[in-house]
A and B are shown apart, each in its own frame.
Chain A
Amino acid sequence: MAKKNPVERPAASSKFEEMMTGTTVFNVPLPADLKTLKGMSPIVIKQPYNIDYIHSYGQDSPFFAGLSNKKLLGTKCRKCDYTWATPRLACTQCGGETDWVELPQTGRVHTFTTCYFGGEEFLKETPFHLVLVEFDGVDTLFLSRLLGPEQPEDIKIGMKVKAKFRRNSQLKPTDVYFVPAE
């Protein structure tokens, strides 16, 4: 019979994580015989690349102003009434112009996932749940985070969810998130 650990504890790692840190080197050896150079190992260096963009939300800016005032804004087509949960100022169904409308703050989970890994920027936030939310009377879906359930098995397609807003707006789509409504 296998021995059970008295307490739950993480196992020691069997390999070092790959790191992006290292040693600063100012010279490398060069063999005297040029004929051997094609067999030389490659030189691999670290090359940083950081930029701050001056990014405008342009015509979609009212959506973010809405979030910071605890309102969820979508758009509705003047010509065909198609209603977009993620706003766009031109209706791609008919080409018509749309107007801003307020969306309901309760909806249902159309689909979901739980991310255990992610892009580097979000790795520290894992695991987290992503959901596409559907709203009554709205033709398209809305991508958001779902907070509350611990495991993916606790999330059901069709379950009712409601919007919550960050108190201090970051002017990002994560200013709104959803939690189970019941």
Chain B
Amino acid sequence: MRPVYMVSGGVSKFAKARPDATFQKIVKESFDYAMNDVPKLKHSMIDGSVVSYFSDHFTRQLMAGIMATDYLGLCPKPNKRIEGGGATGGLCFQAGWEAVASGRMNVCAAFGFETMSHVPTWKGNEFIALASDVNFDYPVGGFYSGYYAMMVNRHMHEFGTTVEQLAMVSVKNHMNAYGNPYAQKRRKLTIADVRNSAMVAYPLTLLDICVMSDGAATCILADEETAFKLTDHPVRITGVGTGTDMMRMSDRPHGEVLLAPNEKKSDYRNLKYPGVHSFRAGRSAGLQAYRMAGITDPLKQLDFVELHDAYTSSEIQTYEDLALCKYGDGGKFVEAGYPFMPQIDYGMKLPKKGTLPVNPSGGLIACGHPVGATGLMQAVFAFWQIQGSIKKHYGSPELQLKKANRGLIHSHAGTGTYVTVSIMERGW
């Protein structure tokens, strides 16, 4: 396998609705952004592309992928559509990595989109719930917020996680997004605001849950030689991992923990795993990526994480899957302040503030979750963070981390059905 670098990225502004543009034009906005950011890259140098969008129901257009691709002028070169629920964008990023790592392409464009405003919110929730078993799960009252609420109630039962700890994730991510002009929701909140917003699925409130978005994102990936010709600051992808689990969460086993290098069997004597409180796919993806990147102590060896916080609860569950803390300690991890940004005032006492910032961009909760774009959006925000170019792209250096040499991006589908983890590092 050849080393693979990200040389450029671009996003559209994430918005509740973009009636002014079709999906092709929104993709083009993110693609042009990426192309303009690396002027040495000529359109003719792109060998092919991969495209991702989640739902044919939202677009009501089959083969929308090729329509985005032809709009970008990338025909007759290779292209394929990648789809895997909420992890669609992360899978697309890794498909682009595969195209370059294998030697099939020297330069690959990976782009994704979703236009969720084309149906009312509750119809959109129905579409998303069709990504659960339509024989046994969906007809019972299919609603993803309900599924995640069941998982967090079990997490709270097993480990003592509290709703205030969940709310802290929402405060953090909304506050971070305040400095990100591409984010959909930029709000300064308190724990009380989160708890007092409308109850959606007990105990998750409206502000514990990400929103539907229209948006697109593009990543340009290249082999080593091409990467350094194009930019002095390429970001190397040093690890990739992809995990899976059974579609029906009722079918998940109650067995033994998949141990991370910094854990031992005796840490989890009475824990039945993954049950419905943990994501085995996330742990599996993380361990693969860590092995490839040579990471044995992620809390120390990572500088930041962009993870799939579709729910505040899933961010806490994911700290544990990624072995940033032990299983069961996710609530305490956020309460102590580990995942907060060091330079931002959240109006809370956080003794460990800034140890390992998680979702410096604002995450899905605040940026929005245009599904097919989301995993790529995370890669773009991580790329800028590692390049040290946050000021250039956000218009303010507020969200730039001082040390951002190595980041992790995490994309997640279903009730933890597909999960991708990719490690990105300063390449120069």
| Contact indicator A113/B126 (Cβ below 8 Å) | no
A16 within 8 A of B: no
Cβ-based interface call for B125 (8 A): yes
Taken together as a complex, chains A and B put the C-alpha atoms of A42 and B143 apart, in Å, by: 32
The reply to whether the CB of A52 lies closer than 8 angstroms to some CB of chain B is no
Asked if A119 and B154 make an inter-chain contact with CB atoms under 8 angstroms apart, the answer reads no
Interface string of A60-97 (1 = CB under 8 A from B): 10000000000000000000000011101000110000
- Residues of B bordering A, CB below 8 Å: 19-21, 60, 120, 122-123, 125-129, 135-137, 139-143, 145-147, 149-151, 153-154, 157, 198-203, 246, 248-254, 276
Whether A113 lies near B153 (C-beta < 8 A) is yes
Q: How far is the CB of B32 from chain A (nearest CB, A)?
A: 16
Known: A49-B60, A85-B250, A142-B250. A128 touches B154 (CB 8 A): no
Contact of B143 among A57, A88, A122 (CB under 8 A): A122
* Cα A112 to Cα B249 with chains together (Å): 13
Q: Find chain B residues with CB under 8 A from A141 CB.
A: 249-251, 276
Beta-carbon contact of A113 and B139 below 8 Å: no
Task: Write 12 A-B pairs (CB below 8 A) sorted by A numbering.
Answer: A110-B154, A111-B153, A114-B199, A114-B202, A119-B126, A120-B125, A132-B150, A140-B250, A140-B251, A140-B252, A145-B141, A173-B135
A128: shortest Cβ distance to chain B, in Å?
6
Flag if B254 contacts A139 (CB, 8 Å): yes
**Which of chain A's residues have a CB closer than 8 A to the CB of B157?**
111, 157
B150→A113 contact, CB < 8 A:
yes
> Considering the chains assembled together, what is the distance between the CA atoms of A157 and B153 in angstroms?
9
Cβ-neighbour of A119 out of B21, B125, B151, B203 (below 8 A): B125
What 10 A-B pairs have minimum CB-CB distances, sorted nearest first? Answer: A119-B126, A113-B149, A111-B154, A141-B250, A152-B202, A120-B122, A118-B143, A114-B202, A42-B19, A115-B146
Whether A143 contacts B153 by the Cβ 8 Å rule is no
Closest Cβ of chain A to B152, distance in Å, is 9
Task: Kindly state the separation between the CA atoms of A88 and B248 in the bound complex, as whole angstroms.
Answer: 11
Complex: A123 Cα to B128 Cα, angstroms: 14
CB 8 Å contact bits of A39-63 with B (1 = contact, 0 = none):
0011010010100000001001000
B201 touches A57 (CB 8 A): no
Is A179 close to B, CB under 8 A? no
Residues in A with CB closer than 8 Å to B246 are: 92
When chains A and B are docked, how far (Å) is the Cα of A178 from the Cα of B82?
40
Measured between beta carbons, the chain B residues less than 8 angstroms from A57 are 135
Q: Are B199 and A116 in contact (CB under 8 A)?
A: yes
Is the beta-carbon distance between A113 and B146 smaller than 8 angstroms? yes
Q: Is the CB of A115 within 8 A of B145?
A: yes
In the assembly, what is the distance between CA of A60 and CA of B137, in Å?
14
B19 x A143 contact (CB < 8 A): no
Q: Is the CB of B140 within 8 A of A113?
A: no
Q: Which residues of A contact B (CB under 8 A)?
A: 18, 20, 41-42, 44, 47, 49, 57, 60, 84-86, 88, 92-93, 110-123, 125, 128, 130-132, 139-145, 152, 157, 172-174
Instruction: Considering the complex, give the chain A residue whose CB is closest to the CB of B21.
Output: A42
Distance in Å: Cβ of A22 to nearest Cβ of chain B: 13
Also in contact, A120 and B120, with CB within 8 A (given A114-B201, A145-B140, A157-B157): yes
- B18, closest chain A residue (CB): A42
A118, B248: Cβ atoms under 8 Å?
no
A143 to B146, CA, bound (A): 11
The residue on A at minimum CB distance from B277 is A111
The answer for the CA separation of A132 and B129 in the assembled complex, in Å, is 17
Least Cβ–Cβ distance between B249 and chain A, in angstroms: 8
Residues on the B chain within 8 Å of A143, using CB = 136-137, 140, 248-250
Are A130 and B250 CB-contacts (below 8 A) given A114-B202, A119-B122?
no
Known: A85-B250, A86-B136, A173-B139. A47 touches B202 (CB 8 A): no
Within 8 Å by CB of B123, from A42, A112, A117, A120, lies A120
Chain A residues with CB under 8 A of B21: 42
* Closest beta carbon of chain A to B376's beta carbon, Å: 25
Tell me the complex Cα distance, A111–B252, Å: 14
Question: How many angstroms between the C-alpha atoms of A113 and B20 in the bound complex?
Answer: 39
Q: Provide the residues of chain B in CB contact with A114, threshold 8 Å.
A: 199, 201-202
Residues of B within 8 Å of A42, CB to CB, are 19-21
Residues of A within 8 A of B120 (CB): 18, 20, 120
Chain A residue contacts of B249, Cβ below 8 A: 132, 141, 143
- A-chain residues with CB within 8 Å of residue B202 when the two chains form the complex: 113-114, 116, 152
Contact A112 B150 (CB under 8 A): yes
Task: Give the chain B neighbours of A60 by CB distance below 8 A.
Answer: 135-136
* Known A42-B19, A141-B276, A173-B137; 7 more pairs at CB < 8 Å: A42-B20, A49-B60, A93-B253, A113-B202, A143-B136, A143-B248, A172-B139
| Residues of chain A with a CB closer than 8 A to B248's CB | 86, 143
Q: How far is the CA of A84 from the CA of B250 in the complex (A)?
A: 9
Whether the pair A112, B142 counts as a contact (CB closer than 8 A) is no
Measured between beta carbons, the chain A residues less than 8 angstroms from B147 are 130
User: A157 touching B154 by the CB < 8 A rule?
Assistant: yes
Cα distance, A131 to B146, chains bound together (Å): 10
A93 to B248, CA, bound (A): 14
Which residues of the other chain, B, contact A142 by a CB distance below 8 angstroms?
Answer: 250
- A41 CB → nearest B CB, Å: 8
Nearest opposing residue in chain B for A141, CB measure? B250
Once the chains are docked, how many angstroms separate the CA of A58 from the CA of B199? 38
CB distance from A8 to the nearest CB of B (A): 19
Nearest-Cβ distance from residue A20 to partner chain B, whole angstroms: 7
Bound: A85/B251 CA distance, A: 8
